[in-house]
Amino acid sequence: MTDPTITEELIADHGLNKTEYKLILKLLGRIPTYTELGIFSAMWNEHCSYKSSKKWLRTLPTSGENVICGPGENAGIIDIGDGQAVVFKMESHNHPSYIEPYQGAATGMGGILRDVFTMGARPIAAMNSLSFGELTHFKTKSLVAGVVSGIGGYGNSFGVPTIGGELRFDSSYNGNCLVNAFAAGLVDTDKIFYSAASGVGMPVVYLGAKTGKDGVGGATMASSEFDENIEEKRPTVQVGDPFTEKCLMEATLELMETGAVISIQDMGAAGLTCSAVEMGDKGNLGIKLNLDEVPIRENNMTAYEMMLSESQERMLMVLKPDLEKEAKEVFRKWDLDFAIVGETIAEDKFEVWHNGKIKANLPLKALSGNAPEYDRDYIENKIFAPAKKQTLEMEPIEALKVLLSSPNFASKKWVFEQYDHMVMADTVKRPGFGAGIVRVHGTNKALAFTSHVNPRYCKADPFEGGKQAVAEAYRNLISVGSKPLGATDNLNFGNPEKPDIMGQFVGCIKGISKACEILDMPIVSGNVSLYNETDGKPILPTPTIGAVGLLNNLEKMIDGPAGLGDILILIGGASEYLDQSAIISETYKETTGKPPFTDLKKEKLNGEFILENADIITACKDLGDGGLALGAFKMSMEANLGVSIEDQEIAWYFGEGQGRYLVSMPTSEATLLCNRASSTGVEARIIGSFGGESIKLGNSSANLEELKICYTTSLPKALE
């Protein structure tokens, strides 16, 4: 097959601008081959190179007392004591999921699981944060069905519990849904594996499933906007096989026990190209590949196709040559491919051979570590519309019903029921209650997992929105009695070449950094997804925070529910702040004004107070969207008891002031807690009690069972 001529159109089709192509010519001193152009396209796109975000990602706090490995590897690692560590990361699969929802979401799950077990960890938990367009949009319902089915189909078959996540709907996602997948695993601290190659002349080994033509150009596609030609991108979506993934994990973990592994890297975006280049770059070595040895499932594949295929369930390893036989036996036992496809070399080169001909001869460092980096112009301003004088002319219970009827705030049980959250038998707290909890098998310890972002806040004020995303993730972990350990971020934005969009990104990064610093939650891994636009319309800024907390003793878990006669106490003070609130958004179908201010010192003070008093707290719910009213309802529903709350103005029930919790306990403990709060500077006061069959917000009330039906049926009805 004759390679196509390199033209301006072909260069543009590969996502390279004129300046970048001139740099390629300068680096090579010649016109690149077609395969070389594809390799540059894969490595220099936004998805792989982070060329628009590197500058700002470096400003994030990434270290801490318990951090073993921060950003730069497949996943981050935090020490949890007793010779164990938690490995975790969140990553996007947005573009593929919009084009082919089932496979896009499924392979997103597969990719994030490989990121975890590539480092020697056995996955123990998964989450997902999903954002879709409005339900009246012609694609939304099919996207929801396909994505949820894809996540469940892959995760359930692989055998990892999905224990939390988010689901939202907004018109900004009409043409570009977001599918952010999270996974976490456990590893012994002396059995962690990294991706940096070492040693000259070491065999480079291909592991796993065969290479096909699926996903060719996927990374480049994920770094571009959508337009009316979106269907043409369908072949760039990968196809996953969870059963092969399960075999790959078991084979990989078994292989690691042999001592044969020098370094290992999963094949994700840009497939063989990215995995080989990253291993070489991190180890300051070159890589030579012979594609004749690559296991393929389609005849007559070209070098270009093999290098850019994103076929799933594949790994690349640098092998200790004296243990080749033992390593090969492991993979053959699991009926997976094992093939030596290259070697490490001393020179800064990336050589690719096929059919006895050299198809690529490139400076390796230029592909990865020295890829282009941009300092994009940005507008550092707050883009909220001026606040309107808005009043809620309704009874508090009627306002609560508005939220319970909204797919954004109604129960997500319809989603969770499609995921297996009990597989592995270590799930302690099921999805739907802020943070999911998984026992550290064989111990009395547990890990809590949560994810959060409020895109309304992030658009109105990126800095405050970034702070709040971290703060609410922190509160979610606190509310179950866990100590926050660290976080991963999945930064979803529009086109960074637009100064206002880049301003959103920079503002959110600054807010996230500030919150992580004050709350001692370092960012140890993450992903950036840009160009989330269709026909020039961007998504809301959606910097999702996935966070992990530790319970050293499960007996300290705050698991509720509230009991009959329990007292309801508000921690953190009252709030009547309604700008950017859920109730205003749902009532008026618009948002105006500033988001609520997040006082990070208050967040930490109140969070530490909850942990210090976990032994007397029966149930706890942090307050965010929907304010006090929605939080109290959820506590009431979990307890299957009514709740009566003091009479106040409607804004008091629905204000979204930050740093706040609702806690319940017997009367005998309530006074003790309030006294302790007073002595530590924490605001705490009794506002109600549990009992009866009704939700009473002052003089406004409704039957709990009636409200539960509304809450649990709203989403399924909306999706019919």
Catalytic residues: 47, 93
**Burial class for 594, CB neighbours closer than 10 Å (0-12, 13-18, 19+):** middle
**Omega before 561 within 30 of 0, i.e. cis:** yes
Rounded to a whole number, what is the distance in angstroms from the first to the last CA of the chain? Answer: 50
Sign for the pseudo-dihedral over CA of 274, 71, 191, 448: negative
Determine the Cα–Cα distance for residues 462 and 502; give it in Å rounded to an integer: 11
Determine the Cα–Cα distance for residues 360 and 353; give it in Å rounded to an integer: 7
Determine the Cα–Cα distance for residues 248 and 478; give it in Å rounded to an integer: 36
Sign for the pseudo-dihedral over CA of 398, 399, 405, 411: negative
String of DSSP letters for 53-122 = THHHHTTS----TTEEE-BTBSSEEEEEETTEEEEEEEEE-HHHHHHSHHHHHHHHHHHHHHHHHTTTPE
- Residue 595 near residue 454 (C-beta atoms within 8 A): yes
Q: Is 358 left (phi over 0), alpha (psi -120 to 50) or beta?
A: beta
Q: Is 284 left (phi over 0), alpha (psi -120 to 50) or beta?
A: left
Enclosing H/E stretch for 500: helix 499-518
Residues 288-291: contacts with CB within 8 Å, 24+ apart?
288/204, 288/342, 288/343, 288/344, 288/345, 288/349, 288/351, 288/353, 289/204, 289/341, 289/342, 289/351, 289/352, 289/353, 290/341, 290/342, 290/353, 290/354, 291/341, 291/352, 291/353, 291/354, 291/359
- Sequence-separated (6 or more) residues with CB below 8 Å from residue 32: 6, 24, 25, 40
String of DSSP letters for 272-339 = HHHHHHHHHHHTT-EEEEEGGGS-BSSTT--HHHHHH---SSEEEEEE-GGGHHHHHHHHHHTT-EEE
- Residue 479 near residue 622 (C-beta atoms within 8 A): yes
Token pair for residue 501?
């969009």
Cα distances (Å, whole numbers) of residue 52 to 170, 317, 496:
26, 30, 7
Sign for the pseudo-dihedral over CA of 612, 615, 616, 621: positive
Q: Report angle CA 205, 206, 212 to the nearest 5 degrees.
A: 160
Determine the Cα–Cα distance for residues 212 and 296; give it in Å rounded to an integer: 6
Cα distances (Å, whole numbers) of residue 624 to 399, 577, 592, 628:
16, 12, 17, 8
Burial letters 292-325, b for 16+ CB under 10 A, else e: eebbbeeeebbbbbbbbbbbbbbbbbbbbeeeee
Determine the Cα–Cα distance for residues 90 and 72; give it in Å rounded to an integer: 13
Residue that the structure tokens 């070489």 belong to: 280
Token pair for residue 395?
């009874």
Determine the Cα–Cα distance for residues 189 and 170; give it in Å rounded to an integer: 42
- Residue 128 near residue 180 (C-beta atoms within 8 A): yes
Determine the Cα–Cα distance for residues 1 and 301; give it in Å rounded to an integer: 10
CA 300 to chain centre: 37
